[in-house]
Amino acid sequence: MKSTGGRRKVPGVLRLFCMALFMAFAAQASAADPTLPCPPQLRPAVHFWIRVYTQIDTDAGFLHDRRNLGVVYETVHFTPDSSRWERQRLVDRERDRLAAELRRIATGVRPLTPDERRILALWGPQVSAARLREAADDIRFQLGQANRFKAGLIRSGAWQEAIARALAAHGLPPELAALPLVESSYNPRAYSKDGAAGLWQFMPGTARRFLRMGAAVDQRFDPFSATVAAAQLLAYNYRILGTWPLAITAYNQGVAGMLRAVRATGSRDIATIVQRYHSATFGFASRNFYVSFLAALYVEQHAQRFFGDLQRLPEEHFQEVTLPGYVSVASLERAADVTSARLRELNPALLPSVWDGALDVPRGYRVRLPAGGTDWTVAAITARLGPQALLAAQLRPPVYRVRWGDTLSAIAARYRLSPWTLARFNGMPLDGMLRAGELLRLPGASRPPAVLAAASLPPGARPATFRVRPGETLSGIATRYGVSAGALARLNDIPLNGLLRVGEPLRLPGAAQPAQLAAVAPAGAVDDIPAAAHALSPPPGSTLAANTSGAAVPLPPAASRLASGPNQALADAEVGTRAAPPPGAGDPQPVSAGQAEALGPMLGPEGEPARSVDPTDYTVAPNGTIRVAAAESLGYYAEWLGVSAMDLRRINHLAFSQPVRIGEPIRLDFRYVTPQQFEQRRIAYHRALEASYFASHRIDGTRTYVTRSGDSLWTLTQRFAGLPAWLLRQYNPDTDFFALQPGTRLVIPRIVPDHAAG
């Protein structure tokens, strides 16, 4: 019998068959594969997600207990043409009925109705009345996913070989290839309301570490590039956390969140953490992420049993060639004799701004062209394009500087744009918070004047000047252009450890003569859009923690600025970051396929966005203290608290000008702000620091370094081309850099400049 808008119990034979299959899998996994264990305590939850992925599609869903996923009360079926509101009313009505029955059972009234006896049997005879009353408030709806899961399995064929190669190259378990089934249903164009994008659902802040992101390119949408980035992130998670269940959960929860869970429970056992750890940030999605992954892995390994014979998409084949200049997509289509549709299919990382002609395909971008036919090399593509099609500078989109009180929708309306277009053009979520002073790119562009072909730059010549970008250091710039930091400092009459300011022009030794470059690199062409007017020194009266790679590392503005007195509000505090939704907002419980897609493409627990990669714990301890983190100072603490640096020196018994050291405890003064407000401002500062650095750098793998006599935090940051101390510590969080011993093995992120996204 087919239900058309009501409830139906899953056939017992099918349920028992699936359970038997899974129990055999779980026993085998526990005995033979300690890498990805399936503890007995978590098996009911894994079985629940197997049912979600295989038994019901997006026209049905389970009403179940939020905490005990082994308790599924009923299946709600919708008519295919029913509206979202009709479906929601049906779910609410059934939920209210079940809650009333649970409360009646808890009162001890007898006899019970047949349906009440069925509900009580789900809980077993030992359940208490108190637990049943709690269960009445814990009824959750989970939309089915069988049709989306099957579609994901079919799509996976296009990239499964590339994913297997990437995982093997990083020494990762091959089973991690099931993660995109949980994250995006193997949809490379997936985009969630929180701004997560692509096959692996990278959030912008995390993606900028490993991928190119800009106005023209977003590699999150490129399955091949994003897979390599995901492998790097998962390897990083495992290096910090030590077990794959924790590393996989950290893909959703973040490394710092999982380290807090380990400290709170005193255990690295995933079952212990899932059952005992309680935190506002460890919600339903994080708690269920590992079990939903195990379920996806099991279904993928037994796909034929659930879905019959599947014809998976064939693997993609193409050629890649690096573009020697900026090229319009129309010129590229003509030169390669390829249709726009096929070119777009092969290059999903190129954003709509490129396809619409607002921006060019960037110089240095590895464009993909059809396999077969022409053997594409740089020389071949240059010859086919011709000198007039290769340009030395990007089109310039107009920009808007955000003012206090602006919203994305208001700015979009002012320029007759849709909020979605403006958000996508700037690589931000539709509901992202704006920061006063931030620059937004507006679709529509013009070419910088007097730009000739990139080929006219003499071989080996350097530009005459380099304009400092956020996060740049003197040693990093010197390394990029193959000169010594001392020569660069002398030529520009600045101290070797001087603080660079964003936008400042630096003359480069051995550069081409201005006459040679006048037509190639016009003034301002180095930076298409300046990121900020200047970089700030530490606040007055403070001493920066002895942890950065010298004073040459420009610091971003603090997350807030003090009002005129300590008793006034910190006016800018709440606009300093694009925050994640508040706890609970990430569990919207969609009732239709369309709503599920709009809320987030995850197949498992609905999309709480991944937390930061930063493993540092920025919370305030119950006794009102914190541990000093890299790039922090008493001046910043004072600013975020609304007190003076001398107040903090006094209560911490610190002498004047005595620096604070990473890892030491500092007592804070909470007369004017709450610990939660301080934490928000502290986190916003570090997110701004990371965003500033990764605007022009990205991580391209890691290397191992064994320390020698004389090594210190300072010498290490200089040895590795101005590597920021905060990033070095993120990759080595358990290393005491102030008691560094020779022979210590360190993981060093390999940093490369990133200028190809725009």
Give yes or no: residues 107 and 162 share one domain. no
Give yes or no: residues 56 and 182 share one domain. no
Do 66 and 284 contact (CB within 8 A), yes or no?
yes
Give yes or no: residues 170 and 292 share one domain. yes
Measured CA to CA, the distance from residue 240 to residue 242 in angstroms comes to 6
Question: What's the distance, Cα to Cα, between the start and end of the chain in Å?
Answer: 57
8-state DSSP, 422: H
* Residue at 473 is within a domain: yes
Task: Output the pLDDT for position 551.
Answer: 29
Give yes or no: residues 167 and 302 share one domain. yes
With 0-12 / 13-18 / 19 or more C-beta atoms within 10 angstroms meaning exposed / middle / buried, residue 218 is: buried
* Residue at 412 is within a domain: yes
Give yes or no: residues 412 and 300 share one domain. no
Query: With pLDDT > 90 as the criterion, what percentage of the chain qualifies?
Result: 58
Where a domain ends, among 146, 177, 209?
146
With 0-12 / 13-18 / 19 or more C-beta atoms within 10 angstroms meaning exposed / middle / buried, residue 529 is: middle
* Residue at 620 is within a domain: no
Measured CA to CA, the distance from residue 604 to residue 183 in angstroms comes to 8
Task: Output the pLDDT for position 683.
Answer: 93
Q: Higher pLDDT residue, 512 or 695?
A: 695
Residue 187 pLDDT > 60? yes
* Residue at 265 is within a domain: yes
Task: Output the pLDDT for position 498.
Answer: 67
Domain boundaries, position 424: 399-441
CA 163 from chain centre, in angstroms, equals: 19
Q: Higher pLDDT residue, 279 or 560?
A: 279
Output the average pLDDT for the chain: 82
Region of poorest pLDDT, from 226-235, 549-558, 611-620 = 549-558
Where a domain ends, among 96, 126, 146?
146
Do 707 and 748 contact (CB within 8 A), yes or no?
no
Residue 610 pLDDT > 80? no
For 383, other C-beta atoms within 10 Å of its C-beta total: 11
Measured CA to CA, the distance from residue 77 to residue 69 in angstroms comes to 19
Task: Output the pLDDT for position 191.
Answer: 87
* Residue at 23 is within a domain: yes
Task: Output the pLDDT for position 530.
Answer: 28
Task: Output the pLDDT for position 758.
Answer: 60
Give yes or no: residues 296 and 167 share one domain. yes
Give the pLDDT band (50/70/90) at residue 578.
very low
Q: Higher pLDDT residue, 100 or 374?
A: 100
Q: For residue range 19-36, what is the model confidence (pLDDT) as tens digits? A: 555 555 555 554 456 899
361 forms beta bridges with: 327
Phi, psi of 653 (to 5 degrees): 55, 45
Give yes or no: residues 165 and 303 share one domain. yes
* Residue at 563 is within a domain: no
Residue 556 pLDDT > 90? no
Q: For residue range 293-304, what is the model confidence (pLDDT) as tens digits? A: 999 999 999 999
Task: Output the pLDDT for position 659.
Answer: 87
Residue 447 pLDDT > 60? no
Give yes or no: residues 200 and 298 share one domain. yes
State the CATH number of the domain containing residue 748. Answer: 3.10.350.10
Q: For residue range 467-518, what is the model confidence (pLDDT) as tens digits? A: 776 566 777 677 666 677 777 887 887 777 667 776 677 887 764 333 332 2
Region of poorest pLDDT, from 14-28, 239-253, 338-352 = 14-28
Task: Output the pLDDT for position 413.
Answer: 86
Measured CA to CA, the distance from residue 27 to residue 637 in angstroms comes to 52
Give yes or no: residues 187 and 302 share one domain. yes
**pTM score, two decimals?**
0.77
For 353-361, what is the mean pLDDT?
89
Do 306 and 54 contact (CB within 8 A), yes or no?
yes
For 654-660, what is the mean pLDDT?
89
Q: For residue range 66-125, what is the model confidence (pLDDT) as tens digits? A: 999 999 999 999 998 899 999 999 999 999 999 999 999 999 999 999 999 999 999 998
State the CATH number of the domain containing residue 215. Answer: 1.10.530.10
CA 368 from chain centre, in angstroms, equals: 25
Give the pLDDT band (50/70/90) at residue 6.
low
Phi, psi of 689 (to 5 degrees): -60, -45
Separation in Å, CA 552 to CA 494, 499, 537, 542:
11, 4, 10, 17
Task: Output the pLDDT for position 586.
Answer: 42
Amino acid present at 320: E
In degrees, to the nearest 5, what angle opens at C-alpha 584 toward C-alphas 626 and 266? Answer: 45
440 forms beta bridges with: 400
For 318, other C-beta atoms within 10 Å of its C-beta total: 16
Measured CA to CA, the distance from residue 416 to residue 339 in angstroms comes to 30
Give yes or no: residues 167 and 199 share one domain. yes
Where a domain ends, among 274, 307, 340?
307
Task: Output the pLDDT for position 593.
Answer: 81
Give yes or no: residues 23 and 135 share one domain. yes
* Residue at 659 is within a domain: no
Number of folded domains in the chain? 5
Residue 15 pLDDT > 60? no
Q: Higher pLDDT residue, 444 or 661?
A: 661
CA nearest 428: which of 691, 150, 752?
691
Measured CA to CA, the distance from residue 582 to residue 565 in angstroms comes to 30
Region of poorest pLDDT, from 442-456, 532-546, 701-715 = 532-546
In a 3-state reduction of DSSP, which class is residue 376?
coil
Task: Output the pLDDT for position 677.
Answer: 96
Q: What element of type H or E holds 355?
A: helix 352-355
Tokens for 268, please give them: 């690295």
For 537-543, what is the mean pLDDT?
37
Tokens for 613, please give them: 């990669």
Give yes or no: residues 166 and 117 share one domain. no
Residue 450 pLDDT > 70? no
Task: Output the pLDDT for position 707.
Answer: 96
Task: Output the pLDDT for position 571.
Answer: 28
* Residue at 316 is within a domain: no
Give the up-direction half-sphere exposure of residue 64: CA atoms within 13 A in the CB hemisphere: 24
Task: Output the pLDDT for position 497.
Answer: 66
Do 201 and 190 contact (CB within 8 A), yes or no?
yes
